[in-house]
Chains A and B, each alone.
Chain A
Amino acid sequence: MTSTGTPQLAGPTSDDERVRQQRRVGFSQRLGRWDVKVSPYLYISPFFILFIVVGLFPLLYTGYVSFHKWDLLTGKGDSVGFENFDWVLHSDMFWKSVRNTFSIFLLSSVPQVIIALVLAAILDANLRAKTFWRMGVLVPYVVAPVAVSLIFGQLFADQSGTINAILAKVGIDPILWHSHVLPSHIAIATMVNFRWTGYNTLIFLAAMQAIPRDLYEAALIDGAKRVRQFFSITIPMLRPTMIFIVVTSTIGGLQIFDEPRMFDQAGRGGADQQYLTVTNLIYQLGWTNRNFGRASAVAWILFLMILVISLINYLLSRRISSDETAGAKKRKKVRA
């Protein structure tokens, strides 16, 4: 007899009770099967529910909003077809913001990847106090972009800024970091680089350490020096990692908002929109001008741009990697 917790006074179990117990076993078995079947879906559901509500739905609904007159306060108005897109594509501000976004993105991603590669190569030596140096390059990552912008905003101040003061000492005229187009892009890109270079350095470093050492040995036997080894082994072996970094930084970099917003206290991207980015423009149209329709049109255009660039990235990286395997095959043949 199975114990039920309470002492039973009755001697032999009655038929009635046996039936009840059997039914209980059946029920708990069914419960167990149900547990096995349903639990996985239950466990993954929080992500999917949240993603649909705060990610997918808003993104798609942005498309719907962009075809309407839509005010921040009064809400949906008439359906206007492509009018919002038409306005955006004929707006000077929009094209300036596209120019600024891409310019800042290039100025921040290209130097960043190069510096991170070099730093990673330096860190990939048998250093004393390895962890100390690695942690050292990662420090800027924990500083909020807003704080970074405030600090660099003062370093790059037009008047009484630290960098201009240093330039004056070596006899260079002060640069108008805030009011001119390219200097302001350089200043903002510097902020991005400051925060992310160390992070990407560590990603490269990890990938470098995964390169089989006998490749270097073979190169050495062939008489290749360190610089040659770096360009002929390290760089090609890091290609997948580089693609990964380029793809993630494209998606993030084209949505840049914090640094240009905080570059001056007004946050409108400068008097002549010299550092207004696309995401800044979305905010301005939507919340300053209360025009959700136009803001949504800009958001959708940016979304499509990111999609197209990601697609190009994907195709390029596939081609590169297939070239690589083809090259490897050829090399093998030569060796054989």
Chain B
Amino acid sequence: MSAPSVAAIEQFAGKGAARTAARKRNRDYGSGSERRPRWLTYTLLTVALIISFYPLYYAFLLASSTADDIARHPIPSLIPGSHLFDNIKKVFDADIGFWHAVENSVIVAVVTSVSVVLFSTLAGFAFAKLRFKGRGPLLVFVIATTAVPTQLGVIPLFMVMKQLGWVGQLQAVIVPGLVTAFGVFWMTQYLESALPYELIEAARVDGASMFRTFWSIALPAARPAATMLGLFTFVTSWTNFFWPFIILSGDNVTLPVALMRLQATFFKDMSLIMAGVVLSVIPLLVLFVIAGRQLVAGIMQGAVKG
């Protein structure tokens, strides 16, 4: 026989009884319930966390040891060695322009993020709030392009860059990423719900031009979503390898390509390579500590909508 519903209990036996019944029941199905999970849950999560962190800590351990240590102890001791700064210095002194690569990565990531946010918000504002012919089909087109493997067009893209004389130049990496379909779609979705028509109308009645309306009404309203989009773009740009690897060369590269050069130069000394890895990861880890919350929220919101 099945038990009466919580609502029924409330009706017959009062609120207190209903609450107790609900709590009792929640013990049997955990999701979203009031009850706190038991130690098994936390143990499993701790294991997941160790798997998440250990490879990074491992890189740090190797980066603070020497090639000899690594050869002698394939399983590194959990206490770091004392050679981290030596190794870092060697990476910067090596003839691969590591510092220049750091600068390049910062430039590319910052410019790309700002530009993607600006152009995506502009397009999102138009798609979400302005009326124009062909709006629906054009938006469908934008969404469809997110599924197009544009990476497969690298060969003609390389030829285009060669025509422009941009091979080996930073703008060859920056320009193709100035605005993305995902960004446009993301901002359209957000502005549809976050920006009331009344605000736009009020601005228009006050005589603001379209661009003025965008700049002082839509852009501020878009801030939460724009921050997330900027963060994701930054991470994507910082970790991007394929295209920079093809188009950049010599000393004028971004960090992932510099790591590849580091590997090619020092493949016999893992401690130096790992020092480079640690250096390349630290900036994003700092960003993650500051803004990881927003990254989590961004993924979860995108998932609900997408």
Interface residues of chain A, those whose CB is within 8 Å of chain B, are 32, 35-37, 39-41, 43-44, 46-48, 50-51, 53-59, 61-62, 65, 119, 121-128, 131, 133-148, 150-152, 154-155, 157, 160-162, 164-166, 194, 198-199, 202-211, 213, 216-217, 219-223, 225-226, 229, 234, 241, 244, 247, 251, 254-255, 257-258, 261-262, 265, 267, 279, 282-283, 286-287, 292, 295-296, 299-300, 302-303, 306, 310
Contact = CB atoms under 8 A, between A and B. Distances in A.
B126 A40 contact: yes
B132 A40 contact: yes
A40 B133 CA distance: 10
B183 to A, nearest CB: 8
Contacts of B300: 202-203, 205-206
Given A40-B132, A202-B299, A125 B178 contact: no
A217 B25 contact: yes
B34 A126 contact: yes
B138 A44 contact: yes
A220 B4 CA distance: 11
Contacts of A303: 149, 152
B71 A203 contact: no
13 contacts: A43-B130, A119-B48, A125-B37, A126-B30, A126-B37, A131-B296, A136-B48, A152-B55, A160-B70, A203-B300, A219-B29, A265-B267, A286-B154
Contact of A207 (B180, B245, B304): B304
Nearest to B55: A151
B299 A138 contact: yes
A261 B246 CA distance: 12
A194 B50 CA distance: 12
Nearest to A310: B147
The 5 A-B residue pairs with the shortest CB-CB distance, nearest first, are: A58-B153, A165-B74, A144-B239, A206-B300, A58-B156
Given A141-B235, A160-B70, A251 B150 contact: no
B122 A46 contact: yes
Contact of B296 (A138, A150, A261): A138
Given A131-B296, A202-B296, A47 B33 contact: no
Contact of A55 (B120, B125, B145, B235): B145
Given A133-B45, A165-B74, A126 B32 contact: yes
Q: State the main secondary structure of chain A at its contact with B.
A: helix
Interface stretch (B9-17, B83-91, B222-230, B272-280): B272-280
A144 B280 contact: yes
A212 to B, nearest CB: 10
Most B Cβ at <10 Å: residue of A148, A151, A165: A151
Given A58-B153, A123-B45, A221-B3, A161 B239 contact: no
Contacts of B120: 47
Interface in B260-306: 260, 263-264, 267, 270, 273-274, 277, 280-281, 284-285, 287-288, 292-293, 295-296, 299-304, 306
A216 B33 CA distance: 11
B115 to A, nearest CB: 9
Nearest to B213: A39
Q: State the main secondary structure of chain B at its contact with A.
A: helix
B5 A221 contact: yes
A159 to B, nearest CB: 9
Nearest to A65: B155
A150 B32 contact: no
A222 B2 contact: yes
A142 B52 contact: no
A140 B55 contact: yes
Contacts of A44: 122-123, 126-127, 138, 184
Most A Cβ at <10 Å: residue of B25, B132, B158: B132
Interface string B72-108: 0011100000000000000000000000000000000
Contact of B303 (A126, A131, A164, A206): A206
A154 B62 contact: yes
Nearest to B298: A202
Given A128-B36, A139-B288, A202-B303, A122 B45 contact: yes
Contacts of B292: 135, 138-139
A134 B296 contact: yes
B210 A203 contact: no
A255 B152 contact: yes
A50 B303 contact: no
A208 to B, nearest CB: 7
Contacts of A51: 145, 181
A237 to B, nearest CB: 11
Given A131-B293, A202-B299, A137 B52 contact: yes
B28 A47 contact: no
A4 to B, nearest CB: 17
B114 interface: no
Contact of A220 (B29, B158, B235, B281): B29
